[in-house]
Amino acid sequence: MVNNVNTNPGALIALQNLTRISEQLEETQRRVSTGLEVSSAKDNPALFALAQKQRAELGSIEAVQQGLRIGTSTVDVALAAGESISDVLVEMRAIASQAADPSISTEDLALLNDQYSELRDQITRLIDTAEIGGRNLIASGGADLIVVAGPDGGTTITVGAQDLSVGGANVTISTETTVFAARDLDGDMSDETVAEVAQAEITAIEASIDAVSNALGSLGAGGNSLELQNRILDRVSDALEVSIGNLVDADLARESSRLQALQVQQQLAIQTLSIANAAPNAILALFA
């Protein structure tokens, strides 16, 4: 090798090695700090594009699941109120059975009538409290619940609204202010007429209980569909996350080992460059 002071081939080679190792070290440090092998399109354009597409699908699924959870909550609230309405109807039937007793006194009949009316009003209050997010599935004139069930937006689940209001399609009990009272027929108090009214009310209550049960069954089936779809999307979401990880995640155990090796190589390259830079100084000894 020619010794000269204008060009130092050894130092140039050492510098090239140091630059290469430093670049590899910087890349490895990025992978360790981010946990990603592919964090930008520069790293791997094809894998980055595929991962971005799957991230978009994952984001769509998360938005759909949010809607499904809101829909499930709406149905759950309606079911809770509907079940309470069914319990109230059972209590009302017991009161109507007592009112049907011909031997009951006028005072007791008035008390039963007050209890009956209060329970009927309770049904209305339960319906009013069944609203969530501006939706009420058991109010009179309530709209069906339509929930997007797929990331493409074209798949939907419909939960039909059920009218559980007093005097509606399902709850056909009397809406009169006074239901049970002694009727004045031709100047006489007729307990028999009160008994007939009570018996008719019992029939209406029993029909209402059956109708409410069917309505709750329909709501429950809709709620189950929403929950099932949400569970399916959970699995799809998990699969997408695993797929994205397989595409872009770094193997931290391997990268950690590589990091340590590159750090040692960098130190050696720095020392080699230092030695190479000092080599031209030996020429001075020739002129001593």
Flag whether 22 is in a domain: yes
What pTM, to 2 d.p., does this model score?
A: 0.75
Q: Based on the fold, state whether residues 267 and 177 are members of the same structural domain.
A: no
Tell me how many domains the chain contains.
2
Q: Based on the fold, state whether residues 133 and 158 are members of the same structural domain.
A: yes
Flag whether 222 is in a domain: yes
Flag whether 212 is in a domain: yes
Tens digit of each residue's pLDDT (9 = 90 or more) over 131-155: 988 899 999 998 999 999 988 877 8
Average pLDDT over residues 94-102: 90
Tokens of 272: 């080699």
Q: Based on the fold, state whether residues 143 and 203 are members of the same structural domain.
A: yes
In the predicted model, is pLDDT for residue 165 greater than 90? yes
Flag whether 211 is in a domain: yes
Tokens of 23: 């670049």
Flag whether 64 is in a domain: no
- Yes or no: say if 250 and 36 are a contact pair by the CB < 8 Å rule: yes
- Yes or no: say if 171 and 82 are a contact pair by the CB < 8 Å rule: no
- Yes or no: say if 163 and 141 are a contact pair by the CB < 8 Å rule: yes
CA separation for the pair 280, 3 (Å, rounded): 7
Flag whether 24 is in a domain: yes
Q: How many CB atoms lie within 10 A of CB 216?
A: 21
Domain of 138, CATH number, reads 1.20.1330.10
* pLDDT score of 185: 43
Share of the chain above pLDDT 90, in %: 49
* pLDDT score of 284: 65
* pLDDT score of 276: 77
Tens digit of each residue's pLDDT (9 = 90 or more) over 217-254: 999 999 999 999 999 999 999 999 999 988 888 878 88
Q: Based on the fold, state whether residues 179 and 222 are members of the same structural domain.
A: yes
Beta bridge partners of 156: 148
* pLDDT score of 4: 61
- Yes or no: say if 191 and 102 are a contact pair by the CB < 8 Å rule: yes
Q: Based on the fold, state whether residues 255 and 243 are members of the same structural domain.
A: no
Q: Based on the fold, state whether residues 75 and 195 are members of the same structural domain.
A: yes
Tens digit of each residue's pLDDT (9 = 90 or more) over 53-85: 999 999 999 999 999 999 999 999 999 999 999
Q: 177 or 119, which is more confident?
A: 119
Tokens 């769509």, residue located: 60
Q: Based on the fold, state whether residues 83 and 169 are members of the same structural domain.
A: yes
Domain that holds residue 107: 69-247
Average pLDDT over residues 114-129: 94
Flag whether 271 is in a domain: yes
CA separation for the pair 143, 274 (Å, rounded): 81
Flag whether 40 is in a domain: no
Alpha helices in 100-156 (DSSP H): 106-128
CA separation for the pair 47, 219 (Å, rounded): 45
Q: Based on the fold, state whether residues 216 and 258 are members of the same structural domain.
A: no
- Yes or no: say if 81 and 129 are a contact pair by the CB < 8 Å rule: yes
Average pLDDT over residues 157-179: 91
Average pLDDT over residues 177-202: 69
